[in-house]
Amino acid sequence: MSFLQQKQEATAELLDGVSVPAGAAWITSIRDTAMARVVDNGLPVRRDEYWKYTRPETLTAQDVVPAAPFDHGEAPMFDEIDRLKVVFVDGIFDADQSDALEGEGFSIECLSDIVNTDIHWAKDLYGQLEANGQNPVERPLAALNTALAEDGIIIRVTGKVSRPVNFIYKHEDDTSDAILHHVIKVEEGASFTLLENGPAAARFNKVLEVDVADNAEFHHVRAQGRDHERRAATHIFGRLGKESTFKSFTLTVNGVLTRNDCVLELTGDDAIAHVAGACVGDGDFHHDDTVFVTHDAVACESRQVFKKVLRNGATGVFQGKILVKPDAQKTDGYQISQSLLLDDDSQFLAKPELEIYADDVACSHGSTSGAIDEEGLFYLRARGVPKDIATDLMTLAFLAEAVEEIENGELADCILTRLEGWLERRRG
């Protein structure tokens, strides 16, 4: 029996008795097609090329590994920011804890409220970017999300929105298994900022599809939840039009297993896409960033900046690819992934890739892994700074390049404050 046949049979057994949720004809068709992709391709296993560094078993098993909610005693993330709050508890929208779903320059609805409507603008976008993102690399957990998600947020942005929308994911049930699918369409000339924070559930599968039209801007900052035992597989699919901007930053601390996929298509000339992440892992911690950026237009710019600080046996993974198609001349592609290993037990696994079919490009990638700079540490200690505080200062300096990718200074300061607090508590 071939490897693919084994995957398909195992997947069919796992999905036995599972059916797509009911809804209007348009979304039922999309869900059925997505489920067919899952059945045909199979759910991920360790032998899959893009899963060889990360064990997917607990993300695909029928039974959820219990994860206890963790009270970190901090004020809610982004609490000092004026924003529209949208709250989910174990993957279920909570209207009582959320603000009214309304605002100037955009419309916002729950997926559960539109799935039974015969006509809705989201039918041309829901699941479409995810489907595009299956080629050339299969992403079966994202297809499974499209097939089974019953809730999420649908946003259409028509103006320049100054007040961010904040998705807040709360975790209360030890065995919660949350699936959410969000769709955001940023119309021509519009701008929008999305914030996300919280652990969400014991196991979390999330898809975010973002269509950024010509001359539009999308900014995204998220802080993944602090619960020690949580597991998550998240996916961002983005499509960029002419002279558009897409910028996303992710902060991750804690979590037994986190896999963040980001798949971007630059389809309009002079588009800009920046994806960045900072992660700090301690002990039983596995964090995987997998990024695929396709340049399919002229004079586009992309940046991938990822920094990981690991200790006490933590594992960090980075898989990043820049694909430049033949007509994507004058491409500027930059990719850097670096890890700071604070002991001999931790490890960083990296697979940077460039695939270029155009001849007028400037593309580069680099990946480094090493211990803390002893010379810099000596310099600080010689000036009276205790070793543990000096180590934290150098850790923050190491992460700074990734945090600087956040365009909004207030949000960047918020992220740095949380990092400082986390390091201080670990020091204590």
Give the predicted TM-score (pTM) of the model. 0.96
**Which candidate, 223, 198, 177, places its Cα nearest to that of 88?**
198
415 versus 13: the higher-pLDDT residue is 415
Strand pairing class (347-356; 361-370): unpaired
Per-residue pLDDT, 284: 93
Per-residue pLDDT, 420: 87
Per-residue pLDDT, 322: 97
Task: Give the model's confidence band at 52: pLDDT under 50 very low, under 70 low, under 90 confident, else very high.
Answer: very high
Using the 8-state DSSP alphabet, how is residue 134 labeled? T
* Per-residue pLDDT at 102 exceeds 60: yes
* Per-residue pLDDT at 60 exceeds 70: yes
Task: Give the model's confidence band at 266: pLDDT under 50 very low, under 70 low, under 90 confident, else very high.
Answer: very high
Alpha carbon distance 245, 82 (integer Å): 23
Residue 229: which residues within 8 A CB-CB, separation 6 or more? 65, 66, 67, 68, 70, 202, 256
Per-residue pLDDT, 325: 97
* Per-residue pLDDT at 13 exceeds 80: no
Task: Give the model's confidence band at 373: pLDDT under 50 very low, under 70 low, under 90 confident, else very high.
Answer: confident
Alpha carbon distance 57, 46 (integer Å): 8
Alpha carbon distance 287, 91 (integer Å): 22
Element (H, E) at 132: helix 128-132
**Which candidate, 209, 196, 217, 178, places its Cα nearest to that of 89?**
178
Task: Give the model's confidence band at 428: pLDDT under 50 very low, under 70 low, under 90 confident, else very high.
Answer: low
Segment 51-75 mean pLDDT: 89
What's the helix, strand, coil split of the chain in %, to 5?
25, 40, 35
Evaluate whether 302 touches 266 at the Cβ level (below 8 Å): yes
Instruction: Work out the angle between the directed axes of helices 25-41 and 3-14 (0-180°, nearest 10).
Output: 130
**Which candidate, 299, 144, 250, places its Cα nearest to that of 206?**
144
Dihedral over Cα of 95, 98, 103, 107: its sign: negative
Per-residue pLDDT, 246: 98
Task: Give the model's confidence band at 234: pLDDT under 50 very low, under 70 low, under 90 confident, else very high.
Answer: very high
Average of per-residue pLDDT values in the chain: 94
Reported for 29-36, long-range contacts at CB under 8 A and 24+ positions apart, including other chains, are 30/123, 30/126, 30/127, 30/146, 31/127, 31/146, 31/147, 31/148, 32/147, 33/127, 33/131, 34/127, 34/130, 34/131, 34/143, 34/144, 34/146, 34/147, 35/143, 35/144, 35/147, 35/148
Per-residue pLDDT, 176: 97
* Per-residue pLDDT at 421 exceeds 90: no
> What is the residue extent of each domain of the chain?
3-374
Task: Give the model's confidence band at 310: pLDDT under 50 very low, under 70 low, under 90 confident, else very high.
Answer: very high
| Strand ordering across the sheet containing 347-356 | 106-110, 153-157, 177-186, 203-212, 231-240, 257-266, 286-295, 315-324, 347-356
**Segment among 101-105, 165-169, 422-426 with least mean pLDDT:** 422-426
Segment 243-272 mean pLDDT: 97
Q: C-alpha angle with apex 349: 7 to 145, nearest 5 degrees? A: 40
Exposure b/e, 81-119, CB count within 10 A at least 16 = b: bebbebbbbbbbbeeeebeebebeebebbbbbebbeeee
Segment 257-269 mean pLDDT: 98
Per-residue pLDDT, 203: 97
* Per-residue pLDDT at 199 exceeds 90: yes
Tally Cβ neighbours within 10 Å of residue 51.
Answer: 20
